[in-house]
Amino acid sequence: MILDLIKKRRSVFPVQYNGKSISREAIETVLEAANWAPTHKKTEPWRFKVVQGEALKRLGDFMAGIYEESEERPKQMKLKKLRENPQKASAIIVICMQRNQKDLLPEWEEVAATAMAVQNMWLCCTELGIGSYWSSPGVISQMHRFFEMEEGERCLGLFYMGYTDMEMAEGMRQPVEDKVVWVNE
């Protein structure tokens, strides 16, 4: 049942990855799931850039460099995480949104559609036994300096992926009844 899969979806961080490679076929399956997200006026605003291999090190070095140049007193621990976390992943899918050039929709709808694509990716990863995590460090505003981007395209985050030895157990939430108001009249 889909609800069981939804309840098992977790953020699995790079430090929890075991180093096993994710096949291109599995990544393509995850991207195909993303492509089936709902989208108002069929704008399909999601765009992805898949980073693997040596490019993971280059991405980490780039992010650490951007952070270092933008901070007066960069924190060494944050520099270390920005530099090393990408290399712990088997793949990173850079999450981008291509704004509709005709401004047919409010921007929040395009962001929401892209987020739904990421949720599809996350659920697909959960089903495939792949740990994943959506990271949105401040340096994403500078990703156009690392990747070629189209006019109107911007980065919304990094989707880290890696196999993990941890069990994807059902999470915890407060009861939905505490968050719902029924209006019947």
The answer to the question of whether 154 is labelled as a binding residue is no
The answer to the question of whether 24 is labelled as a binding residue is no
Q: Report in angstroms the alpha-carbon separations of 26 from 107, 127, 134.
A: 31, 11, 18
Taking residue 120's Cβ as centre, other Cβ atoms within 10 Å add up to 20
Cα–Cα distance, 127 to 38 (Å, whole number): 20
Mention every residue, 6+ apart, whose C-beta is less than 8 A from residue 143.
94, 96, 149, 155
The answer to the question of whether 141 is labelled as a binding residue is no
The answer to the question of whether 83 is labelled as a binding residue is no
The answer to the question of whether 144 is labelled as a binding residue is no
> Which pair of structure tokens corresponds to residue 103?
């401004």
The answer to the question of whether 70 is labelled as a binding residue is no
What residue numbers does the annotated binding site for FMN cover? 9-11, 40, 134-136
Return binding residues: 9-11, 40, 134-136
